[in-house]
Amino acid sequence: MPTSLAQPLEHLLQSGQVWRGQTHSLPDNELASTGYAQLDELLGGGLAYGHLHEVQLPLPFVGELQLVRHALQNAAVQSKPVFWINPPAQPQASCLSRACGSDAQHVVLENLAEPDAVWAMRTVLQANCAAVCLLWLAQPGAHDVRILQKALQGQQGLGVIFCTPMTAEARSYHTRLRAVVEQSQLRWQIIKRPQGWPTETRPQRMRCWN
């Protein structure tokens, strides 16, 4: 930079008239790893606690549970319950016990109509006693998302909504992911993330929960 330009810039910086952007990273204990290294890297470490995240799925059972596996394990360590609202199938206790231990508490709410499911998630998030709350909802409305996001404000839980792919109109999620399955391979499109433009991961084989 030429000296003639640097001096006025220095002056502006000192006078506080120029805002300097910088990368803001959350501590590790405020993030839950997604289990996908590249996705973690692009999201700044994983899914942030105290926020609402969206995962769009073309089909169920393509690897979405892998995203919250670390969060489920953390919940067991903290002795906090996990809520599953309208899951597409029953979470298998024997599998969860091997991943999270015998003391983990998993509460399943099923066969709820859409308004009840949203109400249930809002109530769970506001109660602030659950570590993770997972909701399966086909097409959540912008108003519902806003309500849930407000319910999580100042709380410590992790809220994740699994839905079908939808247009990228603005929603008040912290993170928006979309799974794309092509030729038995999975890649994650990041529609929204806190500190970067939309991007996507490389295709990779679907991960297996062992």
Partner 1 sequence: MQPWAYLYLPALQLDNLQLMHPALSEQAVVLYSDASQLVIQANGAAMEAGIQVGMALSDAWVLAGDLQVFVHKPAFQRQLLEQLAEQLYQHFADLALDESHGMWVRLQAMQRLFASEDAALKALQAQLNGLTSCIRTGPTALAAQLLARSPQSYAPGDIDVRQTSLSAPLKQKLQRMGLQTIDHLQRMPSATLGTKLGLELVQFLAQLHGQQPLGLSFFQPSGVFKQEAQLAAEVHNWNGLRFPLNRLLLGLEAYLRSRQQMTRCVEITLFDRQSQQQRVRVNMAEGEFRAAQFYTLAQLRFEQQRLSAPALILRVEVRTFEAMQAQAATLTESTSGSAAMPLGALLNVLQTRLGRACIHGVAVGEGWLPECVQQRVPPGTPLLKVAAGWRPPWLLEPQPTEIAGWQLISQPERLVEPWWCHQERALRIRDYVVARDEHGRRGWIYFDHQSQGWFIQGWLDG
Distance CA 6, CA 187 (A): 44
Q: Does 196 bind partner 1 (CB under 8 A)?
A: no
Residues in 127-146 that interact with partner 1 by CB under 8 A: 127-130
- Region near partner 1 per CB under 8 A, out of 11-19, 165-173, 180-188, 192-200: 180-188
DSSP symbols for 55-86: EE-SSSSSSHHHHHHHHHHHHHHTT--EEEES
Q: Which of 109, 147, 166, 180 binds partner 1 (CB under 8 A)?
A: 109
H or E segment at 181? strand 175-182
State the number of CA atoms in the 13 A half-sphere of 74 facing the CB: 22
- Region near partner 1 per CB under 8 A, out of 4-12, 38-46, 103-111, 135-143: 103-111
Per-residue x/- mask for partner 1, residues 26 to 55, rule CB under 8 A?
A: ------------------------x-----
- Region near partner 1 per CB under 8 A, out of 19-27, 121-129, 142-150, 193-201: 121-129
Name every residue whose Cβ is closer than 8 Å to that of residue 196 and which is 6 or more positions away in sequence. 42, 190
Distance CA 19, CA 21 (A): 6
Closest contact distance (angstroms) between CB of 56 and partner 1 is: 15
Q: How many residues does the chain have?
A: 210
Q: Which residues sit at the interface with partner 1, rule CB under 8 A?
A: 50, 59-66, 81, 88-98, 100-112, 116, 119-120, 123-124, 126-130, 154-156, 181, 183-186, 205-210
